[in-house]
Amino acid sequence: MKMFRKLSLTTMTALALSAGAVHAAGAEAEITNYDFPFEGPFGSFDTNQLQRGLKVYTQICSACHGMEYVAFRTLSDEHGPALPEDQMRAYAENFEIFDPALDDGLGDYRPATPADHYPESSLANAPDLSLMAKSRAGFHGPYGTGISQFINGMGGAEYIASLMTGYHEEPECALEMDVPMDGYYNVAFANGGFPDECKDEHGHYTVPGSWISMAPPLYGDDIDFDDGTEATLEQSAKDVAAFLMWTAEPKMMARKQAGLTGVVFLSLLAALLYLTNKKLWAPHKKRVEDE
């Protein structure tokens, strides 16, 4: 046992060291731990926030990004944006879907119906956003530096919101370059281009983030929210991130509830087993005490 502990400690140290080394050589992302109403065991999606996020996606992001795994009818889901049926139907009709059966098999565009999915991305290098909130992690861990996944979860929504608010002026080191970097400097984006001018003599990155090819999509005051919420940059960023969390995991509420039911059920079972065990052993225990 002792041996095992020693071994695992050594392995852990080695892992920690190598992780540290990898970290130092790559870009580091600055992620803000924004609060979302769906966090925690009792959290749930906020319908108003999802409707605001839907509006941000529709008016801004959908110009480039598709959501081909999301069907329009789900916008009426009770735990989703909960659009009334007629509104959802009218909303779908704003999108054009290519239907290969139309025009005698030549195919043609028609307005979308509730059964259709959103179109795919219209800009080739803009990734589909349906599952984005689950395919990116804002937090790393479990015991890494900064905010750990162990306590805060994956942080997909935090990542998207931080990406929206992460556009900064280019750092000083990049201004000295003869040929400017392609793209836009973003402190939350770790996978983009990074100039040698911003690395030190050991190859360590001296500034967070990297250069992304998406121009800043949000500036603040881009949207008129129907519920009167002020559309600051941070508000719109959080709302679209919450909406994309819902598209990526529409059944989150059901999953949480199943989890809670499981905990309650197992607690009851444990209590019953404890009592049964006590009762079964009681006569034997008594005999020992009598002796």
- Would you count residue 163 as binding ligand HEC (CB under 6 A)? yes
In angstroms, the Cα distances linking 274 to 4, 109, 187, 188, 281 are 32, 65, 53, 50, 11
- Would you count residue 112 as binding ligand HEC (CB under 6 A)? no
Q: What's the closest the beta carbon of residue 197 comes to ligand HEC, in angstroms? A: 19
- Would you count residue 214 as binding ligand HEC (CB under 6 A)? yes
Which of 29, 112, 131, 218 is in the footprint of ligand HEC by CB under 6 A? 218
Q: What CA–CA distance (Å, rounded) separates 112 from 65?
A: 17
Q: In this structure, are residues 156 and 133 in contact, taking their beta carbons and an 8 Å threshold?
A: yes
**Cβ closer to ligand HEC: 240 or 253?**
240
Which of 81, 92, 217, 242 is in the footprint of ligand HEC by CB under 6 A? 217
Beta bridge mates, 96: 111
28 CA to centre of own chain: 18
**Cβ closer to ligand HEC: 206 or 213?**
213
Q: What CA–CA distance (Å, rounded) separates 26 from 83?
A: 43
Name the helix (H) or strand (E) containing 97.
strand 96-99
Q: In this structure, are residues 70 and 247 in contact, taking their beta carbons and an 8 Å threshold?
A: yes
- Would you count residue 245 as binding ligand HEC (CB under 6 A)? no
- Would you count residue 126 as binding ligand HEC (CB under 6 A)? yes
- Would you count residue 122 as binding ligand HEC (CB under 6 A)? no
Binding segment for ligand HEC among 59-67, 148-156, 269-277, 281-289 (CB under 6 A)?
A: 59-67
Residues of this chain that bind ligand HEC (CB under 6 A): 56, 60-61, 63-65, 123, 125-127, 132, 136, 160, 163, 192, 212-215, 217-218, 240
